[in-house]
Amino acid sequence: MEILASLLVALVAIEHVYILILEMFLWTKPKGRKVFGMSVEEAESTKVMAANQGLYNVFLAAGLFWGLLHPNAETALQIQLFFVSCVLVAGLYGGATANKVIYKVQALPAALALTAVLVNAFV
């Protein structure tokens, strides 16, 4: 179960690195506009905000990777629980306020990772 929990946490971290790339580097490019369903004008007018969001996403990813790599198992567990919970809360809020697809893309993977980490902690 530990391998599954670590794999799910790593996938959530990798997803947030990808979101960073979309928001910081591809926001105004065709790929970024397609993913977020924006016109050229909308993308241009919001690119600074998107870059800021991207930075926050990479902080989440860094925390998740830190939790995976920390040498102390108890500390690693606490770090993983904190950061994957942050991702889950952000995904629930984003799904409720911005776009329902965020439930599937961000909240569901975080919920699965959180469940696996918790099960691993108590088994």
Question: pLDDT digit string (tens) for 24-70?
Answer: 999 999 999 999 999 999 999 999 999 999 999 999 999 999 999 99
Number of domains in the chain: 1
Which residue range is the domain that position 117 belongs to? 2-122
- Are 9 and 111 a contacting pair, CB within 8 Å? no
Q: pTM for this structure? A: 0.94
Task: Give which of 100, 114, 94, 105 is closest to 53, Cα–Cα.
Answer: 94
Q: CA dihedral defined by 71, 74, 80, 85, rounded to 10 degrees? A: -170
Question: pLDDT digit string (tens) for 90-120?
Answer: 999 999 999 999 999 999 999 999 999 999 9
Cα dihedral across residues 48, 102, 98, 32: positive or negative: positive
